A = this chain, B = another copy of it.
Amino acid sequence: MQVNANTPQDAEDAFYDALEAGSLEGLMASWDDAEDIACLLPMQPLVNGREAVRAVFAPFCGQGRHVAVSVTHLRWFESETLAIHLVEERTGPPPGQPAMPVYAINVYRHGPNGWRLIIHQNAPPPPPAGMTPPGVPGA
């Protein structure tokens, strides 16, 4: 499968369309071929390289599995060779739980095959109203 994205948005569409279709091949086609790609899903270790990225997404794909996600753009910064999209993802909540947004940063790079994803990082949502965030001192 080949994705020739003319814009960062084309690459982004290919990524989320593949997730919705549960297509692991489509998903990997939206990622850059280089081994410096990186993916960080919520509360999971950082993974690097195409093989590890493939393993991260495999559980969401195939055999009828897929992830229905709607994406809202929050911020968008682009140069000739790099693009950063800060988005809000909303997936269907498990039964009985409220829908909560997940923040994501998607970074795209322009190369010989057009624009491709090089970083996908998610951050979990804030806790429900009334709960105090844990005391992470992190900046």
Residues of A in contact with B (beta carbons under 8 Å apart): 16, 19, 36, 38, 40-46, 48, 57, 60, 67, 69, 74-75, 77-84, 86, 89, 91-92, 94, 102-105, 107, 109, 118-127, 133-139
Contact = CB atoms under 8 A, between A and B. Distances in A.
Q: Which of A89, A102, A124 has the most CB of B within 10 A?
A: A124
Contact of A69 (B36, B42, B139): B139
Given A38-B74, A43-B127, A46-B74, A84 B138 contact: no
A-B residue pairs, 3 tightest by C-beta: A79-B79, A79-B82, A102-B138
A57 B59 CA distance: 37
A123 B138 CA distance: 9
